[in-house]
Amino acid sequence: MAEVLVQVENLSRFYQNHRAINQLSFSLKAGEVLGFLGPNGAGKSTTMQVISGNLAPSEGEVSIAGHDILESPREAKQHLGYLPEQPPVYRDAGVDEYLRYCARLHRIARGQVNASVDRVKQQCGLEEVGRRLIGNLSKGYQQRVGIAQAIVHDPQVVILDEPTVGLDPIQIREIRTLIRNLGSQHSVILSTHILSEVQATCDRVQIIRAGELIYSASTESLNQGHESSVKLALRNNVPLEALSAVAGVDHVEALDAGHFRVFLAPDTNTDALVAAAAQQQWGLYELIPEQQSLEDLFIELTHNEEVNAG
């Protein structure tokens, strides 16, 4: 089994009486790119700040490569690279100057600084801009510099918080390619509210709503279009309660006489539903699987929060 590099257990963070994140628990394995998805204000950035050690948790524990972020912060952060939503770049510094400074902050040996800077410049496509001032670069290149500072010490885990916000379509495509390449050498947590970004770059997706984790699955299962709901037609009169009680059924929506839409729980199929229909003689004569996109799933899971906030 792949090594667990990030372990988050029962994590909560309060701002006075407001609970920004609530009892979050999840893990990140070696070689995995995890998409941390949620609407604006869901608690994504707060979670990233706590995991990276920039914000203390109110409750719960975070470990990075086996080191507790509170008890052993220096050891934990040696294995961690972090790009916050606002890149921590010095606009008046040159690219090479800034990256050498970051390398020294990460305690890279003096004799290895130039080699480390050259490595991340190549990874991030910065070879041609090393002597330019960061403030004179496009926003896309400034993001590249931000990613380079996060990986200059070659960490096992890289956290990227909204890395493509404010970029144009060409810059977004370039940064996504860079993230995919990072995933071959590091474990990555990508925090975003952009659905296509997750499907283009991530192995697994988690959806957070109002500070709570409400969904987790592989993007492969989403891209394959797993059966998230089915349209069902029955000859006999069957109450909604009977359909809802079938194993693997999340909830049921009545369409018209004898027709239903049955929503399935994640990673389940229609086997139990078909078996129940046969055993209880419901007169099943139509069952049509419906494929659900990540966008459909996201809207369904976060709709209640948006309605309540409106």
pLDDT for 188-203, tens place per residue?
A: 999 988 888 888 889 9
Tell me: do 152 and 287 sit in the same domain.
no
Tell me: do 178 and 261 sit in the same domain.
no
pLDDT for 106-143, tens place per residue?
A: 999 999 999 999 999 999 999 999 999 999 999 999 99
Look up the domain containing 31 and give its range: 4-222
pLDDT at position 308 over 60: no
Q: What is the mean pLDDT of the chain?
A: 89
Tell me: do 145 and 168 sit in the same domain.
yes
Tell me: do 199 and 257 sit in the same domain.
no
pLDDT at position 310 over 50: no
Tell me: do 202 and 180 sit in the same domain.
yes
Q: How confident is the model at residue 102 (pLDDT cuts 50, 70, 90)?
A: very high
Tell me: do 218 and 234 sit in the same domain.
no
Number of domains making up the chain: 2
pLDDT for 154-186, tens place per residue?
A: 999 999 999 998 888 888 888 999 998 888 889
Tell me: do 119 and 240 sit in the same domain.
no
Beta bridge partner(s), residue 212? 209
* CATH number of the domain within which 37 lies: 3.40.50.300
Give the span between the Cα atoms of 213 and 205, in whole angstroms.
Answer: 11
Tell me whether residue 188 is in a domain.
yes
Q: How confident is the model at residue 266 (pLDDT cuts 50, 70, 90)?
A: confident
